[in-house]
């Protein structure tokens, strides 16, 4: 009997119709949960979110999901991709779930699959918030959500795979035989992270407060390009006359801004404090909170007394850098971190100003020069560079540095003066 192609086409059409019906059913489940009265995220309120100037544009041949719509996977697809979630595919453990490396067959693409723990209410809430946030937001320094699975009681999120792991693994959990991150790479990571925060604060409409900025949530793509991940705790910023978002205090020990920890009032400046801790981690190589250090277990408490005197800058530098850092720019990076960590939130710089400062700090690649190639006069001018590793700034570089410093430092000083004046007027009333 001859082969009739109509039967094959009918079979294919039935399969496509079944898949379409399955996806529509998943959408209804997701929408129902998103609109639940127990969920404080309102999709109607934020349906008009736009992402100007930062939307990633990719060719369809490079990325199957070039549009912003998240794809819906079946649990079977993701179980197959991760070899039924075997230990050999395990990548790491998150706050509300476990992450596996998987191969998405139909896309021929490697991905990270996060299987959420749905035994508690928080895991379900994180799933809803993360799908909503990452479906709406697109930026080169935000992790890309490929899709999700909401089949039965299973909740899984699928992201682009980041081959370099997390910043935490590269900065704190590095094996002894591995080389530590150099100064240029650290500043590159700090700059990219700041750009991601700037996008959330100043370009996304409405603004987004990340709330969980820490080294384990910074994933590194090829070339050490940082990506903000794990948006389960993110909140839309205040609207109208509101200056803060009232919420239950959540975060990671060692990162939480003091005013948020005591009052539950969340602002964009809370993220800036978190960034100050992260920048200090990159500079010092220390963890934000390290129980093994005893009295000095809190990084900020240990470093704060040394902010006041520039002579202490070399003490704050990570010993694993072995002195391979520019003295003057190390000082600027420390001063920037100290600004972000100010107790008064209004005195902390805006994310856009942080990007400006870090763009300068990372624009000039630090190249160590051997001491024997520099004359005695240069040695005297650079005596703050240990072990004979010296960087000589030209007059143009010094001028650029002064301009960048004046812009950021000057603006912060003006804001502080305005705040002091406002406080004085309130007292006089």
Greater confidence (237 vs 371) lies with: 237
- 354: Cβ contacts below 8 Å, ≥ 6 apart: 194, 197, 198, 272, 275, 336, 340
Greater confidence (3 vs 329) lies with: 329
On whether 114 is known to bind a ligand per the annotation, the reply is: yes
Tell me the pLDDT of the chain averaged across its residues. Answer: 78
CATH: 3.30.200.20, 3.40.50.2030, 1.20.1260.10, 3.40.50.1820. Which one for 10-160?
Answer: 3.30.200.20
Q: How far apart are CA 140 and CA 87, in angstroms?
A: 30
- 10-160 and 167-428 in the same fold: no
pLDDT tens for each residue of 132-172: 898 889 999 999 999 999 999 999 999 999 999 999 999 99
Whether residue 280 contacts residue 289, with contact meaning beta carbons closer than 8 Å, is answered with no
- 371 pLDDT above the threshold of 50: no
Whether residue 165 contacts residue 71, with contact meaning beta carbons closer than 8 Å, is answered with no
Residues 127/133/138/142 CA torsion (nearest 10 deg): -60
**Residue ranges covered by each domain of the chain:** 10-160, 167-428
The pLDDT, as a whole number, for residue 424 is 54
The CA-atom distances, in angstroms, between 293 and each of 221, 288, 310, 349, 369 are 31, 11, 24, 30, 34
Active site (annotated) includes residue 212: yes
The pLDDT, as a whole number, for residue 86 is 95
- 265 pLDDT above the threshold of 80: yes
Share of the chain above pLDDT 90, in %: 51
242: left (phi over 0), alpha (psi -120 to 50) or beta: beta
- 267 pLDDT above the threshold of 70: yes
- 378 pLDDT above the threshold of 70: no
Q: How far apart are CA 150 and CA 127, in angstroms?
A: 9
pLDDT band at 56 (very low <50, low <70, confident <90, very high): very low
| Set 198, 212, 230, 353: catalytic member | 212
pLDDT band at 245 (very low <50, low <70, confident <90, very high): confident
**Which tokens sit at 2?**
């001859």
The helix/strand/coil state of 264 is coil
The pLDDT, as a whole number, for residue 277 is 98
**Lowest mean per-residue pLDDT among 17-31, 86-100, 209-223:** 17-31
Q: Rounded mean pLDDT of 209-227? A: 95
CB-count burial class (<10 Å; 0-12, 13-18, 19+) for 352: middle
Closest C-alpha to 352, from 226, 187, 197, 208: 197
Q: Tell me the fold of 167-428.
A: Transferase(Phosphotransferase); domain 1 (1.10.510)
Q: Model pTM?
A: 0.75
């Amino acid at each position: 009997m001859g082969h009739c192609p109509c039967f094959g086409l009918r079979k294919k059409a039935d399969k496509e119709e079944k898949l379409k019906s399955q996806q529509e059913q998943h959408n209804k489940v997701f929408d129902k949960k998103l609109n639940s009265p127990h969920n404080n995220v309102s999709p109607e309120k934020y349906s008009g979110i736009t992402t100007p100037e930062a939307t990633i544009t990719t060719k369809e041949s490079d990325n199957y999901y070039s549009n912003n719509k998240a794809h819906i996977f079946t649990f079977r697809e993701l179980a197959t991709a991760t070899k039924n979630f075997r230990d050999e595919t395990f990548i790491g453990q998150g706050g509300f779930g476990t992450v596996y490396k998987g191969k998405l067959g139909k896309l021929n693409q490697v991905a990270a699959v996060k299987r959420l723990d749905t035994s508690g209410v928080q895991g379900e809430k994180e799933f809803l918030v993360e799908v909503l946030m990452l479906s709406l937001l697109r930026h080169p320094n935000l992790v890309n959500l490929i899709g999700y699975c909401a089949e039965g009681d299973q909740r899984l999120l699928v992201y682009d795979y980041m081959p370099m792991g997390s910043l935490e693994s590269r900065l704190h959990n590095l094996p002894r035989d591995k080389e530590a991150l150099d100064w240029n790479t650290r500043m590159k990571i700090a700059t990219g992270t700041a750009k991601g925060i700037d996008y959330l604060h100043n370009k996304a409409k409405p603004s987004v407060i990340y709330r969980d900025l820490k080294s384990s949530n910074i994933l590194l793509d090829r070339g050490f390009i940082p990506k903000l991940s794990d948006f389960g705790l993110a909140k839309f910023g205040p609207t109208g006359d509101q200056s803060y978002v009232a919420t239950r205090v959540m975060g990671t020990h060692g990162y939480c801004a003091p005013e948020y920890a005591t009052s539950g009032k969340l602002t964009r400046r809370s993220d800036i404090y978190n960034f100050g801790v992260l920048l200090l981690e990159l500079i010092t190589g220390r963890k934000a909170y390290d129980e093994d250090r005893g009295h000095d277990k809190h990084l900020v408490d240990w470093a704060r007394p040394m902010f006041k005197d520039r002579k202490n800058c070399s003490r704050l530098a990570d010993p694993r850098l072995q002195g391979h850092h520019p003295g003057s720019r190390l000082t600027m990076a420390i001063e920037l971190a100290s600004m972000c960590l100010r107790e008064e939130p209004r005195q902390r710089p805006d994310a856009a100003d942080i990007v400006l400062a870090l763009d300068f700090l990372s624009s000039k690649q630090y190249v160590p020069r051997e001491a024997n190639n520099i004359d005695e006069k240069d040695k005297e001018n650079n005596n703050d560079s240990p072990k004979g590793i010296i960087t000589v700034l030209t007059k143009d570089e010094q001028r650029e540095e002064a301009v960048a410093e004046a812009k950021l430092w000057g603006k912060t000083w003006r804001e502080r003066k305005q705040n002091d004046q406002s406080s004085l007027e309130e007292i006089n009333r």
